[in-house]
Amino acid sequence: MSSLQPVRGTHDILPEEIRRHRHICGTGRRVAELYGYQEFATPIFEFSEVFTHTLGVSSDIVTKEMYSFVDRNGDELTLRPEGTAGIVRALIAGGLSQHLPLKVFYQGPMFRHERPQKGRLRQFHQIGVELLGVGESTGDIEIIALAEQTLAELGVLKATVLELNSVGDIESRTAFRKALVEYLDGYRKELSEDSRTRLDRNPLRILDSKDKKDKKILEKAPLLPDYLSAESKEAFSTICVGLDDLGITYQHNPRLVRGLDYYCHTTFEFTTKALGAQATVLAGGRYDGLVAAMGGPETPGTGWAAGVDRIAMMLESTPKAIRPIAIVPVSRNAEPEAVHLAQELRQEGYAIDLGYRGNLSKRLKRANKLSAVAAIILGEDEIAKGLVTLRDLDTGEQESISLKTLKQRLSNFR
């Protein structure tokens, strides 16, 4: 039955992959804590206006990709397509402006109705950070350094390139927008249908086009850095110098813009060739006007998000599962003691596997299949004497030891 298959663009995350996810999220959280960031968790759905008012009504996310619905109360809700808007909504709703600067780490699933392919899902997972209340360039430098350290500790940094640009302030973008429209208007009939629509509504988004004809036309288009105001140029230069001082390598990509309306000044992406068409691994930038646009006080902000599913595909190896200790009763009469011992050891913090059926041979085969580190074998005669057999499943060595000293002996297998 098709109804028993995962919905297109989603998939079941089984134990091996979930260990990769946990490793990525755990590493991101740990590195973020080194920089003073604390974890937030916002709902996976919000009132739709949280996203329509912030992402831009002409963005692909709003026009094509959001999972929106009306609930039983008639409220228009949307599954979150990204994390920043929810964090900012929490800042405003929780009255957290008095605690600025606010350093936030988050992780969890996001939802977009995109065309599924390798590295692009409709339910995908992200880790991210937001730095709210810091308008200085040191904030941009810090979050980029945090991003680099996270990717480095995950072992994937060498497979990525940091691309950096500035989309400037409103003055800069207005001047560039005018020049870009004048240039593209001469190619209106040759542009893709999406780009023709964007030309009238938000021409900067054409720079994100994946259409081959659009890309060819854009080769001779005006470049945004040529229209930056003096203030924007100075801010970008300061960030570049700061990254140089930290030894963080980057490439200036003058055509790099982010796909959301709330970005200003710094934009950046860590990209890779390891994932085919889905090149972006981690991306972010500055969004100084977002909090005010959502009804809060004027508050600068900057941040990034990274694709957990994409990074998981780049990891060289899967973190190993915990190796349990197997408890193996030799006979049915020994099972009650085995159950009791298993529970006692679990309460002491040991990972214990207790097979439910089978003879000694079958249970030991199960222990080996689970990569158990040791086996505790319980026979009726041994139990009567207060003894068990402890077998090291790596070396094959075994010994008979007292139940009273078992916990002390097991410390070698913790």
293 found inside a domain: yes
Do 247 and 395 belong to one domain?
no
- Final residue of a structural domain among 291, 314, 337: 314
Residues of 59-98 as b/e, b for ≥16 C-beta within 10 angstroms? bbbbeebbeeeeeeeeeebbbbbbbbbbbbbbbbeeebbe
Q: Is residue 91 part of a domain?
A: yes
**What pLDDT is attached to residue 361?**
87
Both tokens of 360, joined, read: 């000694």
Same domain, 109 and 163: yes
- Are 349 and 233 part of one and the same domain? no
Strand partners, 401: 388
- Given 314, 342, 360, which residue is the final one in a domain? 314
Domain enclosing residue 331, as ranges? 325-413
At 342 the pLDDT is 94
The answer to the question of residue 175 being in a domain is no
Do 355 and 296 fall within a single domain?
no
360 lies in some domain: yes
Do 257 and 336 reside in the same domain of the chain?
A: no
From residue 126, alpha-carbon distances to 15, 107, 353, 390 in Å are: 18, 6, 33, 44
Residue that is written with structure tokens 């000293």 in the block: 405
pLDDT score, position 287: 92
Residue 234: CB atoms within 10 A of its CB come to: 12
Q: Is residue 223 part of a domain?
A: no
pLDDT at 120: 81
Residues 254 and 403 grouped into a single domain:
no
Residues 78 and 124 in one domain: yes
3-state SS class at 164: strand
The answer on 57 and 117 residing in a single domain is yes
As a whole number of angstroms, the distance between CA 347 and CA 341 comes to: 10
Check whether residue 306 and residue 346 sit in a common domain: no
Residue ending a domain, among 280, 314, 348, is 314
Number of domains in the chain: 2
Domain check: are 258 and 380 in the same one? Answer: no
Beta bridge pairs of residue 68: 78
Same domain, 235 and 310: yes
So what's the pLDDT on residue 248? 98
Q: Residue 149 has what pLDDT?
A: 98
What is the C-alpha to C-alpha distance for residues 164 and 252, in angstroms, rounded to an integer?
5
User: Going residue by residue through the chain (414 aa), what tens digit of pLDDT does each one get?
Assistant: 567 888 888 899 999 999 999 999 999 999 999 999 999 999 999 999 998 876 655 455 565 688 999 999 999 999 999 999 999 999 999 999 999 999 999 999 999 988 877 778 899 999 999 999 999 999 999 999 999 999 999 999 999 999 999 999 888 888 888 999 999 988 888 999 888 888 887 788 788 777 888 889 998 899 888 999 999 999 999 999 999 999 999 999 998 886 556 678 999 999 999 887 768 999 999 999 899 989 999 999 999 999 999 999 999 999 999 999 999 999 888 899 999 999 999 999 999 999 878 888 888 899 999 999 999 999 888 888 999 999 999 999 999 999 888 988 898 887
Question: How high is the pLDDT of residue 104?
Answer: 98
What CATH number should be reported for the domain holding residue 395? 3.40.50.800
H-helix or E-strand spanning residue 96 = none
pLDDT of residue 325: 95
- 212 assigned to some structural domain: no
Q: pTM for this one?
A: 0.89
For residue 252, list its beta bridge partners. Answer: 164
The residue type of 306 is: A
Q: Which CATH number goes with the domain that contains 303? A: 3.30.930.10
